[in-house]
Amino acid sequence: MVMTKAKKPRWQRRKDERPAEIIAAALKVFTARGFSAARLDDVAARAGVSKGTLYLYFRNKEELFKAMVREVLVPNIALAEERLAGAGGNTPELLAELLRNMVAVIVSPIGAIPKLVISEAGNFPDLARFYVEEVVGRGLGVLARLVARGTARGEFRAIDPATAAPVLVAPLLVLAMWKHALEPNASARVIGSFDLNRFIETYTDVILNGLRPRAAGAGD
């Protein structure tokens, strides 16, 4: 007789899988309802666990939010830091690669998190400070180091890296607002005029040409 392996019931999932499932559910609930309106009951239901089970892993909604950010956003920054630390090649190509990766993150579901933080910052300043330290500060640091690298190698014109970094990020915040707040409510005519590939090409072209060293006598 041929024996078949019984399918593992949902309630017998390995315990180490549950935090990731809860975080995935939290991302959907938080970005759909906002942090203040989101309920842990809804997160638990979407994750397929009881509220009591959720509390075994996360003490409260704030801790769940922080875990979500660390799980879905921070690893992208860590990868960028590692890429920069061991990078060879020319800086414009490295910067273009990083900017394209940042656009990919922004247009994905996790790109709704910046919009969520901005909209809730006034009511939850502790979470905003956490986000600035864990995400914004590190992300700007990577960009500033890239600009400094290019300037030192003569690939970029002399420019303050700390000031340039948020300038590079600003168009991405507009993209985040568009993709996760405005586009769902825009008419077909307006949506049809937005081409993501063209946005990426134009964005990187403007940035790289703006950083390019100027010809002698052109002035600063």
Residues in the chain, overall count: 220
Task: Write out the residue limits of the CATH 1.10.357 domain(s) in the chain.
Answer: 73-211
pLDDT given for residue 131 in this prediction: 97
pLDDT at 191: 65
Angle made by CA atoms 126, 132, 134, in degrees to the nearest 5: 100
* pLDDT value of position 1: 40
- The pLDDT score that the predictor gives to residue 91 is 95
Fold of 73-211: Tetracycline Repressor; domain 2 (1.10.357)
Q: State the sign of the Cα–Cα–Cα–Cα dihedral 144, 148, 150, 151.
A: positive
Given a cut of 70, the residues of the chain with pLDDT beneath it are 1-16, 189-193, 215-220
pLDDT for the residue 122: 94
Give pLDDT, residue 10: 47
| Average model confidence (pLDDT) across the chain | 88
Q: Give the Cα separation of 58 and 132 in Å (integer).
A: 21
In the 3-class helix/strand/coil scheme, how is 87-156 assigned residue by residue?
CCCCHHHHHHHHHHHHHHHHHCHHHHHHHHHHHHCCCCHHHHHHHHHHHHHHHHHHHHHHHHHHHHCCCC
CATH architecture of residue range(s) 13-65: Orthogonal Bundle (1.10)
* Ranges of CATH 1.10.10.60 domains, the chain: 13-65
Tokens of 129: 């400070």
**Rounded-to-integer distance, Cα 183 and Cα 194, Å:** 10
Nearest C-alpha neighbor of 115 from the set 19, 32, 16, 212: 32
The pLDDT of residue 16: 67
Query: pTM of this prediction?
Result: 0.85
Quick one: pLDDT at residue 147? 97
